[in-house]
Structure 1
Amino acid sequence: MKACRRVLCRNLYVLFISLFLFAQPLWAQETSEDAAQTTEAADAGSGDGIPADAAVISKGKEIFDGNCAQCHSVHEKVVGPALKNVYERKDVAWLTNFIKYPQKVIDSGDAYAQALFKEYKQIMPNHDFLSDEDIMSILAYVKDETVKGPAVAETPASSTGGDVAADQNAVDPNLLLAVIAGLVLLLVILLIAMVMLIAMLTRYLKQKEDLSEEDKEFISQRFQLKNLLQSQGFIGVVSFVFLAVVLKATVDGLFSIGVQQGYAPEQPIPFSHKLHAGYYEIDCKYCHTGVEKSKNANIPSANICMNCHNTIRTTSPNIQKIYAAIENDEPIQWVRVHNLPDLAYFNHSQHVKVAGLECEQCHGDVKEMEVVQQFSLLTMGWCIDCHRKTEVNTEGNAYYDKLVELHSKNSKDPMTVEDIGGLECAKCHY
């Protein structure tokens, strides 16, 4: 009986294993089909018309950072409401109209828009310069961030990672001081050894009996500092070193005339770029509005400050200076930091919009500057050196096709700004 029971259990076990192995491929296939359907559904969107293409999301992030991030975040309130699931609160057409013309929508009596105005007590500026496609890309970015959820703060690495590598590459000031001290100590030891060696040789020579009177007089002479200081050789060496130092200081001073590297003037209102551009990550283009479309980057007006400070730190004495400037209809007397001579022409839009240069390449890491200062030399030589080294980004720009073709026939090196006339006098002097 027990033997039959064991045989029955063994057969049932074998049958169960066989069924499992047979069903596994079908289950895997079904799971893959479900995953593919889920992916297709995600790619197609949820019927709201908001695209999920990575390129569109990337473009939306760029536009959002430049125009929206100063007042909005996806997952938390800033100056304005959090934008999580905003596409579910209102349809795309309403959102597009509101983003472009918020005042108009509020004045129309729209209940939702008026509720927002009542809660936040301010009106978003018009964004009618954005196209419908731009706004759709912003919504694509917001939807993507909504699905991802809020970012989880990472635990700082203890003793591993890139920070350690950076620390290893940095020069320890204490180590450098120790090396200098070691070299000085080594020179002192060598000097002492030479003095001892001279003394030993002198004693040895004095014991010799076949020395001439002249040799005995030379060996017996004593070192006198006065004679050394009055010698022609010493005076000549000191004079040469002195004249060389004076000449170098004079030449350096002449070359530094008009160079204001490190210039950090005191402003009428203390403005921390480290706080605004660094901690709050306000994009440079939000305040310096002309950087992509004008010769000048524009010093921001008080109205731009008021986009945030009509509700943030309104009682601060420094913010009150902004209110006073607006009430008196007088501009804030900001002190210009970066000054070019009148004979030099520089166009911000040409470098930022066309060439695609980042602000940090010329202005340094501004988001780490408590008081902004001139980072680069901004001299003619500095500009020429940049034009000689900077490669022209010709990809996707048919304007350069013929130039690239002609350049490739005569040179194997990449085409730089110098090759397209970047060193011609009339480019910068007019």
Structure 2
Amino acid sequence: MTISKHIINRFFLIILTLFTLSWFNTLFAQDANDGKQLFISKCQSCHSGDMKTDMTGPPLFGIEGQWEDKGKLHEWIRNNQKLIASGYPKAVEVSKLKPTAMQTFPDLTDPQIDAILKYIDEKGSGKLDAAKGTPAAGGEKSGEDTSQHPLLYGVITLILALAALILIFVNKNLKKISDDTEGKKTPDGIPFLQNKMYLATTAILLFIIGGYFTTKAMINMNRQKNYEPRQPIFYSHKVHAGINQINCLYCHGNAWESKTAAIPSVNVCMNCHKTIQKYNGPELKDKQGNPIDGSAEIAKLYQYAGFDPQNPDAWDPNKAKPIDWVKIHNLPDHVYFNHSQHVRVGNVQCQTCHGEITQMDEVHQFAELSMGWCVNCHRQTKVNFNVDSTSGNQFYSIYEKFHNDIKSGKMDSVTVKDIGGLECQKCHY
């Protein structure tokens, strides 16, 4: 075997090792991301995203240390009412902390609950923020961002590929010099631009690489992930839905009853701002970091409403003008999406599709809202088949086969795809 073949074999071995390491890094990052997504979809409607602020539900940081039996904690998360009814002391104690009963999550598996608890611990302790290069709890910074490892491996791979190519040409030239010294006659090599094998290989590689990036670009056309337009009024969801804990359905009540969530009218805003005329909350900043005068933004609302704060009793709501909000979430015209079917029937939390809305000042599009993204959700989301209780959806009683399969142990749960969630006509006109 020649030296050049040794070099090529080692080169491919290095590439395989780098891609394996990159895959493991992505896998571990996905595990952490799973915990975050589950927390957003299942927990964040009642519990604060920083794990330390008291909201509808208590702060969750340190919750594992508060339960002696982790198995009981899992039972509490799945069905707290059942655990309270059993008389378990810790469950009874926790149930008295808040007047609002905690929602049950019978569909969560042990690994999913562990992922949520891990995310709660890392978020509450500041480990996640430190991993992103932001100051940790102790005021120090962690300079490593593990999300950049795949990019680093890619750069190293290119450098090694270039080094291997150089070594191959050096080896070829040294062999030619050695043969000339020994008087051996070696045939002249074919120039690169005349070598059909080199040209064909290069053309195929360029076709594959170009096709990949072209396809990627075409697939992402008209997808607006992270789209964050400037709105006519700086409306902070962080202040309204986060700090002041205004329920999403107060402003977007249509999401409970109809296809669209709708934009609240000016008069809905004035229900509160007829009396709240000055902003006294935390400092507001736009995405560029420029300070925002909250009171001035309220004054803009008054212009649309035709409201004079000096003479509030003279206000005529019928003279209000609609605010020209810039639409953020857009679906193609041939796609059917019903908010009530997801929010009311499916009990899907707003954060599942819209992200940590309670932490956003200026709202941006959190998810790509692609067909693949929706289909994956339908494949993974379990439906509440417990029709024997008041919490179950009685419509699912017609699926007799699935109920029999669950009782016999053939199935442990039913997902949206099992009840037709992947059928084309469900989402396309």
| TM-score when normalising by structure 2 | 0.51
TM-superposition CA deviations, 1:36-90 (whole Å, max 9, x none)? xxxxxxxxxxxxxxxxxxxxxxxxxx99x9xxxxxx99xxxxxxxxxxxxxxxxx
The corresponding residue for 2:300 is: 321
Deviation per CA, 1:152-191: give whole Å up to 9, x if none. xxxxxxx997433785698446766765665566556656
Do the aligned partners of 2:277 and 2:295 also contact (CA within 8 Å) in 1?
no
Alignment of 1:11-410 (within 5 A): 162-164=125-127, 171-172=145-146, 190=164, 194=168, 197-198=171-172, 200-209=174-183, 211=184, 215-216=185-186, 218=187, 227-309=191-273, 310-313=275-278, 316-327=295-306, 328-395=319-386, 396=389, 397=392, 398-403=394-399, 405-409=401-405
1:202 Cα offset (Å): 4.0
The list of structure 1 runs, each at least 4 consecutive aligned residues, that deviate by more than 6 angstroms after superposition, is: 143-146, 173-178
Distance of 1:382 and 1:302 partners within structure 2: 34
- Residue 200 (structure 1) shift: 4.9
Q: What's the secondary structure of 2:399's corresponding residue? A: helix
Classify 1:428/1:179 alpha carbon distance in 2 versus 1 (closer, same or farther; 3 Å). Answer: closer
- Cα distance in 2 for partners of 1:381, 1:174 equals 25
Deviation, structure 1 residue 392: 0.9
Q: Which runs of 5+ in 2 are unaligned?
A: 1-44, 49-54, 57-95, 100-121, 133-143, 280-293, 307-318
How far 1:391 sits from its partner (Å)?
1.3
- The letter of the residue matching 1:206 is D
Change (3 A) 1:421 1:285: same
Aligned to 2:18: none
Q: Following the alignment from structure 2 to structure 1, what is the Cα–Cα distance between the partners of residues 298 and 123?
A: 43
CA distance in 2, matches of 1:181, 1:252: 20
1 CA distance for matches of 2:302 and 2:346? 38
Residue type of the alignment partner of 1:420: I
Q: Distance between the aligned counterparts of 1:365 and 1:192, measured in 2?
A: 50
Amino acid at match of 1:290: N
Separation of aligned partners in 1, 2:124 and 2:364:
32
Q: CA deviation at 1:299?
A: 0.8
Larger Rg: 1
Structure 2 vs 1, CA of residues 407 and 377 (structure 1 numbering), >3 Å: closer, same or farther?
A: farther
By how many angstroms is 1:331 displaced? 0.9
Q: Distance in 2 between matches of 1:270 and 1:343?
A: 32
The letter of the residue matching 1:370 is D
Amino acid in the other structure paired with 1:295: K
Deviation at 1:323, TM superposition (A): 0.9
Residue 323 of structure 1 aligns with an amino acid whose one-letter code is Y
Larger helix fraction of residues: 1
Contact 1:290 1:297 in 2 (8 A): yes
Query: Given the superposition, is the C-alpha separation of residues 294 and 180 from structure 1 closer, same or farther in structure 2, using an over 3 Å criterion?
Result: closer
The CA deviation string for residues 5-34 of structure 1, in whole angstroms up to 9 with x for no partner, is: xxxxxxxxxxxxxxxxxxxxxxxxxxxxxx
**Identical counterparts, % of pairs:** 35
Say whether the 8 Å CA contact 2:402–2:414 is kept in structure 1: no
Asked whether the equivalents of residues 402 and 411 of structure 2 are also in contact (C-alpha less than 8 Å), the reply is no
| SS, match of residue 261 in structure 1 | coil
Residues 369 and 145 of structure 1: CA distance in aligned 2, closer, same or farther (over 3 Å): closer
How large is the Cα RMSD of the aligned pairs? 4.3
Task: Give 1:82's aligned residue.
Answer: none
Residue 414 (structure 2) pairs with residue 418 (structure 1): no
Structure 1 residues 144, 204: closer, same or farther in 2, change over 3 A? closer
Measure, in 1, the Cα distance between the counterparts of 2:370 and 2:162: 44
How many Å separate the matches in 2 of 1:247 and 1:174? 25
Cα pair distance change 1:207/1:428, threshold 3 Å: closer
CA contact (8 A) 1:407 1:415 kept: no
Q: How far apart in 2 are the matches of 1:232 and 1:399?
A: 66
Higher relative contact order (CA 8 A, sep 6+): 2
User: 2: distance between equivalents of 1:186 and 1:299?
Assistant: 54
Give the aligned length: 273
Report how far residue 357 of structure 1 moved.
0.8
Partners of 2:192 and 2:199 within 8 A in 1: no
Distance 1:400 1:175, change over 3 A: closer
Q: What corresponds to 1:133 in structure 2? A: none
CA contact (8 A) 1:404 1:415 kept: no
Alpha-carbon distance in 2 for matches of 1:205, 1:255: 54
Return the offset for 1:421: 2.6
Contact 1:273/1:371 (8 A) holds in 2: yes
Q: State the AA in 1 paired with 2:224.
A: Q
Tell me by how many angstroms 1:282 deviates: 3.2
